[in-house]
Chains A and B, each alone.
Chain A
Amino acid sequence: MMNNSFAQPMWSNGPSPGQFYNFMGGNAPTQLPRELTTAGPFGTKHSTAAITTGSSVVGIKFDGGVLVAADTLVSYGSLARYQDIQRVFKINNNILLGGSGDFADIQSIKRNIDQKMIEDQCYNDGVIMKPGELASWLTRVLYNRRSRMNPLYIDVVVGGVDETGKPFLGNVDMRGRAYNDYVVATGFGRHLALPLVRERKPKDRDFTFEEATNLIRESMKVLYYRDTRSIPQYTVGICTAADCSIKGPFKVEENWTFAETVKGY
């Protein structure tokens, strides 16, 4: 055998008779993430359902910014478990995030984003993240998780303004499906609030701030009346070039006098 040569001997790392050639060239395969390799008696079980859930998030774009609203309930199945938890977050001076789905997964991704914002600030270069960039980042994180069959059970609304003050409103779901529109909604809001807002959209222009606020108020009212996993209290995030903050909590204007007239049950 040659012992003064760097050349690989012929057929080293070759397959045993009857086996296939290993094209990795004998290199160890890349280490899989720990959650995929932790051995249990039957392998690893990934989360398959949301436990503590937030219901709808509604976002509306208007001529100078966006509004994102969600009620303050986090349910545990059909139990209205946590009734005063905000689900609309201010990420930085340009970004609002509304989260629905598994609240633990929302908190987890929120921690990741907050850490990113701190890193962003540490660079001290005057460059801050825009809503479109966060939405794009979220698609990559969520798509990767779904591809590993270990998804984050969340459906988020990302809203905000870019450096020119142009509004952005988008939605990213647990698979990484993403789109932008003048109105986005998750959960029951997709069935109840979305048609309500689309119906009132003028063809030739954006909503005004006043129209958008009224639509949010109306949407949250309809959602409270018809979504069993909701409560009559919500917060609204507003993001414009001048201001990015969370308002509220507000109360839904309840009126149950009609209930006396309901017959037939």
Chain B
Amino acid sequence: MNCLGVEQFPDYKVPGVQHVDFSPYESNGGSIVAIAGEDFVVIAADTRLSSGYSIHSRDQSKLFKMSPKTVLGSTGCWCDTLSLTGLVKVRMQMYEHTHMKTMSTDAVAQMLSIVMYNRRFFPYYVSNILAGLDKDGKGAVYSYDPIGHCERATYRAGGTAGALLQPVLDNQIGYKNQNLPADQLPPLTKERAVAVASDTFISAAERDIYTGDSVLINIITKDGVEERKLQLRKD
């Protein structure tokens, strides 16, 4: 069997040869929630870094400020998160030097997809959500799968409690299946977005052992990024 020019182990069992049992991946937990409004976007992530039943750190930010208008939330395999965010930051700096301007949120979103797809057959094991203001100053949320599929949304939950949080957002932000006419949907305020994001994390910390300790909330407006912190249960 030949793969990328490297002679590999044969597919059949060979006596005396043990197979590689090393896994390059590890789940380090953590959750992200992002909610976009008309002229703002809120992104929140918990600060617990764990593997299995061990908590490595109770104070690890998973939000990466990529530009004054863009914040990337990244969880999953922490070593992949570090490599991926590092690479994206480098490429954003290269863009800034060649084009003499900061990358727009939409451009970062597209680039992130490409950078991740580059590792299609050895993926970055990460759950990414990118939040920022788009070219028109509107709130934008982009979510990704580990191999780089990208989708723009108005709200999204990701990470270990993503499946726990998303239905809450569907109900509280999306007003799904409530048969409300479009003109009767209450407008989303910044305060409500922050309140809902906070509540989802308080709920997630009850049931997901990989989510807890505290939540960092970034509120992105045209004036900059406001940071808030909320304590969660630490058990």
Contact = CB atoms under 8 A, between A and B. Distances in A.
Interface string A165-183: 0000001010111111100
B165 to A, nearest CB: 24
Contact of B28 (A37, A171, A177, A191): A177
A116 B60 CA distance: 29
Contacts of A83: none
* Most chain A CB inside 10 Å of its own CB: which residue of B9, B26, B79: B79
* Most chain B CB inside 10 Å of its own CB: which residue of A146, A180, A191: A146
A168 to B, nearest CB: 14
Given A45-B17, A181-B59, A191-B54, A176 B8 contact: no
A179 B56 contact: yes
A149 B20 contact: yes
Contacts of B18: 45, 48
Nearest to A47: B22
Contacts of B77: 175, 177
Contacts of A142: 79
B147 to A, nearest CB: 16
B24 A149 contact: yes
B10 to A, nearest CB: 6
B79 A143 contact: yes
A154 to B, nearest CB: 13
B49 interface: yes
Contacts of A48: 18, 20-22
B118 interface: no
Interface in A183-207: 184, 190-191, 198
B78 interface: yes
A139 interface: yes
Nearest to B8: A43
A190 B54 contact: yes
A42 B6 contact: no
A29 interface: yes
B14 interface: yes
Interface in B39-61: 49, 51, 54, 56-60
A117 interface: no
Interface residues of B, number: 31
Nearest to B122: A147
Contact of B24 (A36, A42, A43, A146): A146
User: What size tier do the contact residues of chain A reach?
Assistant: 20 to 34
A191 to B, nearest CB: 7
A146 B26 CA distance: 12
* Most chain B CB inside 10 Å of its own CB: which residue of A46, A139, A177, A198: A177
Nearest to A147: B24
A184 B55 CA distance: 11
B83 interface: yes
Contact of B26 (A149, A171, A175): A175
Contacts of A36: 6
B82 interface: yes
A39 interface: yes
Contacts of A44: 6-7
Interface in A101-133: none
B5 interface: yes
A237 interface: no
A212 B12 CA distance: 55
Interface string A130-174: 000000000100110011010100000000000000000001010
* Most chain A CB inside 10 Å of its own CB: which residue of B20, B22, B82, B83: B22
A205 B6 CA distance: 54
A46 B18 CA distance: 10
A53 to B, nearest CB: 16
Nearest to B28: A177
Given A147-B24, A149-B24, A176-B83, 17 more contacts: A32-B6, A37-B6, A42-B9, A42-B14, A43-B9, A44-B7, A46-B20, A48-B20, A142-B79, A143-B79, A151-B24, A177-B78, A179-B57, A179-B60, A179-B78, A181-B59, A198-B58
Interface of B: 4-10, 14, 17-18, 20-22, 24-26, 28, 49, 51, 54, 56-60, 77-79, 82-83, 122
CB-CB nearest 8 A-B residue pairs: A176-B79, A43-B7, A177-B79, A175-B79, A177-B78, A181-B57, A179-B57, A146-B24
17 contacts: A29-B5, A42-B14, A45-B17, A45-B20, A46-B22, A143-B79, A146-B22, A146-B24, A147-B122, A149-B20, A151-B24, A171-B56, A176-B82, A177-B26, A178-B82, A179-B78, A180-B57
